[in-house]
Amino acid sequence: MIALRSEKEIALLRKADELVADVLAALAEHIEPGVTTRELDALAADMIRKADAVPAFLGYHKYPACTCISVEEVVVHGIPGDRAIAEGEIVSVDVGVRWQGYHGDAAITVACGQIDETRRRLLRTVDLALARGVAAACAGNYLSEVSRAVQETCEAEGFSVVRAFVGHGIGTQMHEEPQIPNFVTGEPGPLLRSGMVLAIEPMVNVGTHEVEVLDDGWTAVTKDRKPSAHFEHSVVVREHGADILSDSSRLQWGRLPT
């Protein structure tokens, strides 16, 4: 069953997501050559706890860190550690928090210094795919319209959409119904209704859509080891379009060009 959230609940979700957006903005500003993913995770943990919130990823199914930081060929669930980020790499940062019983979740992929044209085009495309997916998340549409918007945007540029991981509903739990594929499954999916809260998150690869999970049980990498990008917003479905909860004045992503 897909929850329909009250305005009071949506206000709490927005506070959680605003914190997520602030953390993402801070981490994006710290991504530079030589910085380790562990240092970024420590910064996120400090910010979350100072806001009297809880890092939602830490301990979730025994996940060992506060953030997922996925560099280059790592698609999702990269465990922060001693890897130093290098010039020319792309870094996906995924942050989740729990605040007063409600969850926030968002992600962005950031360039470390100067990147090549393929990586620049990948980031632009996945950002646009998220924006188009968000635009499709309005009451009266079917969920498959969100999936179609993401898939068509990415495949038009020659990129491949990951099948092994999908977006999700979010609220009092990190992962709730419905699952949100970034590709068309052949089924329309549920009819979207005002008050549904969705975490829409395209995960898109330069090469094959296939992924492998490493021996740590978490880190998912592209099978061909080509780069991947991940963008995510938590949104609430409204009658005339989605309302982005994980918004930030410091860092803009997942919005249609004006």
Architecture of domain 7-244: Alpha-Beta Complex (3.90)
Residue 88: per-residue pLDDT: 98
> Tell me, what's the pLDDT at 35?
98
* Cis, bond preceding 55 (omega within 30 deg of 0): no
pLDDT in tens, 72-117: 999 999 999 999 999 999 999 999 999 999 999 999 999 999 999 9
pLDDT for res 257: 84
- Return the pLDDT at 249: 87
Dump pLDDT digits (tens) for 223-235: 999 999 999 999 9
Strands (E) located in the chain: 54-55, 67-71, 74-76, 90-99, 102-111, 160-161, 167-169, 176-180, 197-200, 203-205, 211-213, 220-222, 228-230, 233-236, 243-244
Q: What residue type is 66 in one-letter code?
A: C
Q: In which residue ranges of the chain is pLDDT below 70?
A: none
Closest listed residue to residue 222, CA positions, set 231, 235, 213: 213
**Domain-wise residue ranges, the chain:** 7-244
Residue 129, φ and ψ in degrees, nearest 5 = -60, -40
